[in-house]
Chains A and B, each alone.
Chain A
């Protein structure tokens, strides 16, 4: 089975996000970039399916040259191959151009695929758009936010998380599936894996290599401005005996905040 996993390089979740108001972009200096956490579950799931059913796991990403570091991590976890579509423009916060580019790359560079795996969203743009958009462009069934996945012959059965419940969905393959936390426990890279990954070439394709022009990156959304969230004022902090403290908190909730 040919499995493709689409990943993204993002600032880690401990990062403080600062805005450069001159460029209207986030200030990347000093940020630690990692494989987007939900993508780790997708990579892990791909490896598990390959281990059970055989086949090949290929990792694809669109992003700047530095993305090869996160692709190396995926190879060190055990993926067979990885390739980068080099995109140097700053984050668009718009899934559509990227979905169109990766769907195009998949069609032109690889015709044979059974399963497309994604993280349910990148941590950053937080759009959760790419998996469904790629599925739509390629005409594939989709299951997003998946916490359980089984591949049976030429179909997949998955549990998808919704508000307070899960939906069980069967799809024929090929299909696009996105991973939620809870799907599995991602493995750590082994030393052997890291050594193997070092030897692997990661092809880097430009948009021109894929037969696309720079207009492939034109977004229909215009970023007007970026803002920091309104900072909260620290309120009253008390130390008191438990009964009095509890009473004062409820008094605050009832009479000042008026929320209960």
Chain B
């Protein structure tokens, strides 16, 4: 049985978790196994009907009032208990902020090695192989598991959602006992950025700026584009972040975030190797740069050699027109 951890944020099931569940279902079909999903929190069993249709035979809701906000130690305690009881053959989790925090703790608690941030699964000779980027995507490594259970986190935005099925699957609410001293790192408050947009790791379109933007105020021009493009976010190169023009949350590259959106638009970004590592798995890349020799043009599907300040205004108008059609 493959157990999939389903993340809940702001009372909603995270799409990345449903992607992980969809992929677990595809793997399980080839391996002849079942898939269970697990929610953790307080009163979260009401979300189970949204989960089951993506391929879970059973959705388990681990419940305790102490779990109503996230805590890595508390959630690990609850999940480790379930894993001991069910002895799953595999544990899948989305490599979101929460997944990257929780999965390694659970793995160590269970004494299991973890393959993080996988981008591909293959069933070979009846067992699972996973591919994951290393060195921020400058290389890929393929791993096989020598023991059971296997444990993986899956990169968001990479694995397709399966078509939800009709049946919702069985739902089981399980009250878990947790000693209070096992929950020592609870989130006490979530601080939202004013007018916070989508995170670059979750965006389908990234509009990114570099040193060529010349100053912090010009990021507004990129925000105008994200304002009209659906599911988009503003990204930035390391030099723009290091210059203090924009918060590091937006940084794409080896000391920022590795992204693979449907579309990456690079404005005034030359394309340093550490930046390219973080974005070259984007499905489509376009770039505007005044330097025809800039390395970004070597990875761009479409590039304009020119002054971004002159190209951006008509580009915005043309995009508006195209989107209105």
Which residues of A are at the interface with B, using a C-beta cutoff of 8 A? Answer: 11, 13-17, 19, 26, 37-38, 93-97, 99-100, 123-137, 141-145, 147, 159-172, 175, 180-182, 219-229, 232, 234-240, 242-243, 245-250, 252-254, 257, 259-260
Contacts and interface: CB of A to CB of B under 8 A. Distances in A.
Interface stretch (B39-47, B56-64, B112-120, B170-178): B112-120
Interface string B121-159: 000000001010111111111111111000000000000
Nearest to B282: A232
A221 B262 CA distance: 31
B50 interface: no
B116 A234 contact: no
| Chain B, interface SS category | mixed
Contacts of B168: none
B300 to A, nearest CB: 6
Nearest to B278: A13
Nearest to B110: A136
A181 B241 CA distance: 10
Contacts of A38: 255
B139 A123 contact: no
Contacts of A127: 104, 114, 116-117
B303 A235 contact: yes
A145 B101 contact: yes
Interface stretch (B22-30, B183-191, B211-219): B183-191
Contacts of B165: none
A223 B9 CA distance: 34
A96 B292 contact: no
A96 B114 contact: yes
Given A123-B255, A169-B185, A226 B190 contact: no
Contacts of B142: 223-227
A140 to B, nearest CB: 8
B318 A240 contact: no
B69 to A, nearest CB: 9
Nearest to B280: A232
A169 B138 contact: no
Interface in B283-325: 283-286, 288, 292, 297-307, 310-311, 313-315, 317-319, 321-323
Contacts of A221: 113, 115, 143-146
Contacts of B284: 253, 257, 259
Interface residues on B, range: 35 or more
A142 B254 CA distance: 24
Contacts of A160: 97, 101
B273 interface: yes
| Chain A, interface SS category | mixed
Contacts of B104: 95, 127-133, 136
Nearest to A255: B322
A132 B144 contact: no
Given A226-B141, A245-B306, A175 B185 contact: yes
B305 A239 contact: yes
B108, B256, B292, B310: most-surrounded residue (chain A CB, <10 A): B108
A93 B272 CA distance: 25
B274 A13 contact: yes
A101 B190 CA distance: 34
Contact of B283 (A99, A128, A259, A260): A259
B255 A181 contact: yes
A222 B277 CA distance: 24
B314 A247 contact: yes
B319 A163 contact: no
20 contacts: A17-B138, A93-B134, A94-B114, A127-B114, A133-B108, A135-B72, A136-B108, A136-B109, A163-B202, A164-B249, A168-B187, A168-B191, A170-B188, A181-B241, A221-B144, A246-B317, A247-B314, A250-B319, A260-B322, A260-B323
B248 A165 contact: no
Contact of B101 (A132, A245, A253): A132
B243 interface: no
B98 interface: yes
B107 A229 contact: no
A20 to B, nearest CB: 11
Given A129-B114, A171-B184, A124 B306 contact: no
A167 B187 contact: yes
B17 interface: no
Contact of A232 (B9, B116, B299): B299
B274 A257 contact: no
Contact of A95 (B102, B114, B144, B197): B114
Nearest to A26: B139
A162 to B, nearest CB: 4
Contact of B139 (A96, A166, A227, A249): A227
Closest 8 CB pairs of A and B: A133-B108, A163-B199, A235-B301, A220-B113, A136-B108, A141-B185, A246-B314, A129-B104
